[in-house]
Amino acid sequence: MTEVVPADRGLRRVIGDGDAVVDGEVDGLGPDELLALYRNLVLLRTYDERSVVYHRQGRIGTYAIFWNHEAMQAGSVFALEERDWIFPAYRESAIGLLRGMPVSTVLSWWRGHPSGWWDPREFNLASICVPIATQIPHAVGFAWGSALKGEDRVALALFGDGATSEGAFHEGATFAGVMKAPVVLFCNNNQWAISTPLSAQTAAPTLADKAIGYGIPGVRVDGGDVLAVYEATREAVERARAGDGPTFIEAVTYRAAPHATADDPSIYIDPERVEEERENECVGRFERYLRRAGVLTDDKVEEIRAEALELMRAGIAEAEAEPPADPGLVFEHAYANPPPSLAEDLVELRRILGS
């Protein structure tokens, strides 16, 4: 039975505001799990903030900032088992850190270095998709294939609001619904696709409404509330594991940083709305919740932040210690039978690089 939360109903939330809106609790999450979740949020936040600095210092290339997306990433992954697979987009480039991937690997990816490539089977993490929505049919096909093989695996596909306008989303969601693939379609609705606002993206009242057309449940959560994200994903994972098929989750947030380091949002975005979002950003919200619950102290915050910073320092040092890649790699994997002009291009590239 399809259930969609109507547009006029509030988003699902667990974290209160420390005032009139009281804090909720999530079954099964004790102090240890809550702290583990906080650690994951801080790791992602630290990665993101340091990466913007590294970009400005010319140490990594163009970077897709995910500031304030951490709750959606950490919350959804926390609901998975290790054997479940993640299919990320560029906005989730550092999600592998939550699976024990070294920081240097992710940084190397952004440095365009081959040491940033990984074997997806090592972390049950597919490679990052930059073409919008292409990871969705990958995730659905993987999930269906796993089910056919009798494996107990769920796939989590992460994508943006803009991705829901792509053919690949439609194809993946249709297929997932019909085949009852054990997949979670997780949409981070940050209300922008570079400079295209949500209002120009769709006439649907909510993105979760789209789920009706695929015959799958659509749920809406506050994307800045890590506990609501976790709980909604856990339910979706349980449905998938029980053989009840996919769920579409729309996590609503608002992009509080530029699309990427190459973008200037000041010419199209509403600065007051950004300010509002930044004040209520997701890591601080969870931190205040944990303090109210008596789970987090100043010392613990310091320790967790220092640990994450140290990981970043070591990670960038390791990435920068990699010997430069052979420029021939740029050409090697593009053609089975390369046209002769490419050989000339490579000679020219080697001349310029002095390699």
Ligand X SMILES: Cc1ncc(C[n+]2csc(CCOP(=O)(O)OP(=O)(O)O)c2C)c(N)n1
Interaction between residue 285 and ligand X (CB under 6 A):
no
Q: Which stretch binds ligand X (CB under 6 A): 146-154, 190-198, 292-300, 330-338?
A: 190-198
- 38 vs 47, beta carbon nearer ligand X: 47
- 70 vs 161, beta carbon nearer ligand X: 161
Instruction: Kindly state the smallest distance separating residue 185's Cβ from ligand X, in Å.
Output: 13
Q: Phi-psi region for residue 24, left (φ > 0), alpha (ψ -120 to 50) or beta? A: beta
Which of positions 212-271 make contact with ligand X (CB under 6 A)?
259
b/e map of 40-51 (b: 16 or more CB within 10 Å)?
bbbbbbbbbebb
Interaction between residue 193 and ligand X (CB under 6 A):
yes
DSSP β-ladder status, 192-193 and 196-197: antiparallel
Cα separation, 282 vs 95, in Å, equals: 16
Taking residue 350's Cβ as centre, other Cβ atoms within 10 Å add up to: 13
Q: Which stretch binds ligand X (CB under 6 A): 36-44, 94-102, 192-200, 278-286?
A: 192-200
- 130 vs 293, beta carbon nearer ligand X: 130
Which of positions 95-154 make contact with ligand X (CB under 6 A)?
130-132
Please give the positions annotated as active site: 255, 259, 268
- 251 vs 316, beta carbon nearer ligand X: 251
Interaction between residue 160 and Mg ion (CB under 5 A):
yes
Interaction between residue 46 and ligand X (CB under 6 A):
no
Interacting residues of 257 by C-beta distance below 8 A, sequence separation 6+: 65, 66, 67, 68
Number of residue whose CB is nearest ligand X: 160
Sign of CA dihedral 128, 161, 138, 155: positive
b/e map of 241-269 (b: 16 or more CB within 10 Å)?
eeeebbbbbbbbbbbbbbbebebebeeeb
- The partner in contact with residue 131, picked from ligand X, Mg ion, none with C-beta cut-offs of 5 to 8 angstroms by kind, is ligand X
Residue in 164, 197, 191, 201 with CA at minimum distance from that of residue 277:
191
Cα separation, 297 vs 284, in Å, equals: 13
Interaction between residue 258 and Mg ion (CB under 5 A):
no
Binding map of Mg ion across residues 182-211, x = CB under 5 A, - = no contact: --------x--x------------------
Interaction between residue 163 and ligand X (CB under 6 A):
yes
**In terms of residues, how long is the chain?**
355
Interaction between residue 172 and Mg ion (CB under 5 A):
no
Instruction: Kindly state the smallest distance separating residue 162's Cβ from Mg ion, in Å.
Output: 5
Instruction: Kindly state the smallest distance separating residue 190's Cβ from ligand X, in Å.
Output: 5
Q: Which stretch binds Mg ion (CB under 5 A): 76-84, 152-160, 164-172, 296-304?
A: 152-160
Which helix (H) or strand (E) covers residue 72, if one does?
A: helix 70-78
Give the residue carrying structure tokens 């619904």.
177
Residue in 114, 52, 46 with CA at minimum distance from that of residue 262:
52
Q: CB-based burial of residue 291 (10 Å sphere; 0-12 exposed, 13-18 middle, 19+ buried)?
A: middle
- 161 vs 209, beta carbon nearer Mg ion: 161
Instruction: Kindly state the smallest distance separating residue 221's Cβ from ligand X, in Å.
Output: 17
Number of residue whose CB is nearest Mg ion: 160
Size of site (CB under 6 A) for ligand X: 13
Cα separation, 345 vs 273, in Å, equals: 47
DSSP β-ladder status, 85-87 and 155-160: parallel
Interaction between residue 173 and ligand X (CB under 6 A):
no
Residues that bind ligand X (CB under 6 A): 91, 130-132, 160-163, 190, 192-194, 259
Residues that bind Mg ion (CB under 5 A): 160-161, 190, 193
